[in-house]
Chains A and B, each alone.
Chain A
Amino acid sequence: SAVISQKPSRDICQRGTSLTIQCQVDSQVTMMFWYRQQPGQSLTLIATANQGSEATYESGFVIDKFPISRPNLTFSTLTVSNMSPEDSSIYLCSVGTGRNGYTFGSGTRLTVV
């Protein structure tokens, strides 16, 4: 299975600023997924990022707030823009095919003050 390197592992940010999270995969993958895990809760899909096309966002998430880049088949970034304390969460990237399991990065723990 793929190995994902996600960074930063954690950050404390001032409200109104932006943070870009990076995920590097050790193999080429078509689909990458970005999730949010709010404190004490399960994972919620933010968007699906395929190389060469615009990311597809789930209900409640918009591109202006969570812009995503997918420049090649091994890399993606998620930016959390104009942050507020409500954005404090763990953000995770994932890759998978739907038939052989999905692998997750170690997550980015974001605290907005």
Chain B
Amino acid sequence: GESVGLHLPTLSVQEGDNSIINCAYSNSASDYFIWYKQESGKGPQFIIDIRSNMDKRQGQRVTVLLNKTVKHLSLQIAATQPGDSAVYFCAETGYNAGNMLTFGGGTRLMVKP
């Protein structure tokens, strides 16, 4: 089977509950942040992004929160569904990084029916 997420921390939630996935980023100069979802056998898929001049952004069933003071990013998924089961990565970049993405370690989300 696919080895993505095999050794990553795992968050297990009940279907219908809300999920919160956390990420600590490293570069205080980063000004653009993205959350990705990676399912087995696929590349990372864009979920939502946020720029450093914001502290919250909402999408469909997802919300990203940015705390620049402590360099912390979180992804909230409302009413988690089995299809949300995947590995989630945060990524950061900025002008001084040449627009190259630096990825966080990732969290595996498992949704129990």
List chain A positions with a Cβ less than 8 A from chain B.
Answer: 1, 4, 6, 31, 33, 37, 39-45, 48, 90, 92, 94, 96-99, 101-107, 109
Interface string of B37-51 (1 = CB under 8 A from A): 000011111100100
> Which residues of B in the span 65-113 have a Cβ within 8 Å of any Cβ on A?
89, 91, 93-95, 98-106
How many A-B pairs have beta carbons closer than 8 Å: the answer is: 68
A102 touching B43, Cβ below 8 Å: no
Chain A residue numbers with a CB within 8 Å of B3 are 39-40
Q: Which single residue of chain B is at the shortest CB-CB distance from A9?
A: B41
From B5, B34, B100, residue with most partner A Cβ within 10 Å? B100
Secondary structure at the B interface, as helix, strand, loop or mixed, is loop
B46 touching A98, Cβ below 8 Å: no
Known: A40-B7, A107-B43. 17 other contacts (CB 8 A): A1-B46, A6-B43, A39-B3, A40-B5, A41-B7, A42-B89, A90-B4, A96-B99, A96-B101, A97-B99, A98-B93, A101-B46, A103-B46, A104-B43, A104-B44, A104-B45, A109-B41
The bracket for how many chain B residues form the interface is 20 to 34
Chain A residue numbers with a CB within 8 Å of B95 are 98
B8 within 8 A of A: yes
**Can you give 12 A-B contacts (C-beta < 8 A)?**
A6-B43, A40-B6, A41-B106, A44-B103, A48-B98, A96-B101, A98-B94, A102-B101, A103-B46, A106-B41, A106-B42, A107-B43
